Amino acid sequence: MSLNIGVISAGGWGTALASHLALKGYKTDIWAREAEVIGSINGCHENKLFLPGVRLAETLHAVSEIKDAVIGKDLVVFSTPSQHIRKSFVETAPMLSPETNIVIASKGIENSTLKMMYEIAEEILPEELHKNIFAISGPTFAKEVAMKMPTCAVVAGKNSEKLNEIQDIFNSSYMRIYRSSDIKGVELGGALKNIYAIAVGILDGMKLGKNTQAALITRSIYEMARLVMALGGDQLTLSGLSGIGDLVLTCTGDLSRNRQVGIRLGQGEKLKAILDSMVMVAEGVPTTASVHDLAAKIGVEMPIAETLYDVLFNDVDIKESVPRLMSRSLKDEFRSYEAAK
């Protein structure tokens, strides 16, 4: 299959996906804001700023004009950080053809509107493009994907006829792709897991042990399920790659930026200093704020996320956070996490 593909934003994940698609033989252009990124991708087939030390596909081409990654493309991947993806959709909407497939690789919930990424796309893009909107998620650290280490991911969308086509485009010998019709559940899983990765990182930074971390990861699954069900998603989706798969990876893997933020918080560093020292975005921080507001709006109890919100944004002492969770009233393990009515 001969395809022209564009990728918007050359962070680590966008670069890894672009290289993956280029290696499959698709003509792939990636738009980067930074001149140094364009130079390193085109000059030495490496993204030295956001994905250093990883050899990229030699056919991958970086461009400085966003239109060159959009106009005439059969498929455009959006990997812009979640709080900026609205701007990307606004800028590219006039350039997209009605036949262009759109795959969202960003993971988060917009702070100002509490919308998921696909909902922002549907708000901004012409109605004829809505059937072409898909999302990709799963346990996929950018560096490992770019190094062709085997993993699995899931693509989700409402258009069952085109979903198989998108699945095939991204599938390879080292990244097996599954499909789902639950784009809401898939996107929520990908966004929410970043919150709990920060929380688990805090426990690690406090040297509280593996029992504590395993318990928090497990309870996080049920907390995620309550929100997904309350918003109309499928609870079963969270048992898959975009739920448990991505949650386990992000909570336990050393390549997780969100986990690293948590570790440093648990060791006593301040959030602002941590974020100022990072080259890439830790999506769990703004997502925590969004989930706090969203849970309050629809009446869903999310004690772990709420406690983390107070640590990040209300300056609550981290040492008080674990006793606060442990001293809550006792509940049935499963009934306590039924969707709020």
CATH code of the domain containing 75: 3.40.50.720
pLDDT class of 334 with cuts at 50, 70, 90: confident
Question: Which residue type does 299 have?
Answer: G
At residue 103, the 3 state secondary structure works out as: strand
Q: Are strands 151-157 and 101-104 parallel, antiparallel or unpaired?
A: unpaired
Confidence of residue 336 (pLDDT cuts 50, 70, 90): low
155 and 268 in a common domain: no
71 lies in the same domain as 103: yes
Mean of the per-residue pLDDT values of the chain:
96
pLDDT digits (tens, 9 = 90+) for 169-203: 999 999 999 999 999 999 999 999 999 999 999 99
Residues 156 and 100 in one domain: yes
CA atoms within 13 A on the CB side of 318: 22
Pair 157, 265 in one domain: no
List 24, 73, 107, 193, catalytic entry: 193
Q: Is the pTM of this model over 0.85?
A: yes
User: What's the confidence (pLDDT) of residue 338?
Assistant: 55
The structure tokens listed for 143 are 């560096």
Alpha-carbon gap, residue 331 to 110, rounded angstroms: 32
Burial of 179 (0-12, 13-18, 19+ CB in 10 A): middle
Using alpha carbons, list the distances in angstroms from residue 288 to 46, 169, 282, 305: 32, 33, 11, 7
Same domain, yes or no, for 225 and 189?
Answer: yes
Provide the 3-class DSSP secondary structure of residue 250. Answer: helix
For the CA atoms of 188, 110, 107, 12, the dihedral, rounded to the nearest 10 degrees, stands at -170
Backbone dihedral angles phi then psi of residue 150, each to the nearest 5 degrees = -60, 135
Q: Are 75 and 162 in the same domain? A: yes
Mean pLDDT in residue range 309-322: 95
Confidence label for 340 from pLDDT (cuts 50, 70 and 90) = very low
4: closest CA among 36, 29, 41? 29
Residue 4 has a CB neighbour count (10 Å cut-off) of 16
Token reading at 283: 């999506």
Is the domain of 239 the same as that of 227?
yes
Does 36 score more than 90 pLDDT?
Answer: yes
Residue of 277, 246, 251, 247 whose CA lies nearest to 263: 251
The one-letter amino acid at 318: I
List strands edge to edge, sheet with 175-180. Answer: 61-63, 27-31, 4-8, 75-78, 101-104, 133-137, 151-157, 175-180
Last residue of a domain, one of 126, 154, 181: 181
Q: Please give the share of the chain, as a percent, with pLDDT higher than 70.
A: 98
Residue 13 pLDDT greater than 90, yes or no: yes
The span from the CA of 141 to the CA of 146, in Å, is: 9
315: left (phi over 0), alpha (psi -120 to 50) or beta: left
Q: Do 14 and 154 reside in the same domain of the chain? A: yes
Assess whether 47 and 11 both reside in one domain.
Answer: yes
Which CATH number does the domain housing residue 271 bear? 1.10.1040.10
Structure tokens at 290: 């969004």
* Chosen domain end from 181, 209, 237: 181
Question: How many percent of the chain have pLDDT more than 90?
Answer: 96
Region 239-243: mean pLDDT is 97
d(CA 340, CA 272): 34
pLDDT value of position 341: 39
Q: What is the pLDDT of residues 50-75, one digit of tens each?
A: 999 999 999 999 999 999 999 999 99
State the total domains in the chain. Answer: 2
- Same domain for 146 and 189? no
Q: Are residues 66 and 168 in the same domain?
A: yes
Question: What mean pLDDT comes out for the span 257-283?
Answer: 96
Does residue 33 sit in the same domain as residue 162?
yes
Of 148, 181, 214, the residue that ends a domain is: 181
Does residue 267 carry a pLDDT above 50? Answer: yes
Residues 6 or more apart whose Cβ sits within 8 Å of residue 278: 257, 261
CB atoms within 10 A of CB 280: 14
Domain of residue 195 covers: 185-337
| Closest C-alpha among 210, 256, 301, 333 to residue 13 | 256
Q: Is 249 within 8 Å of 259 (Cβ atoms)?
A: no
Instruction: Assess whether 48 carries a catalytic annotation.
Output: no
Helices 183-205 and 318-326, interaxial angle, to 10°? 120
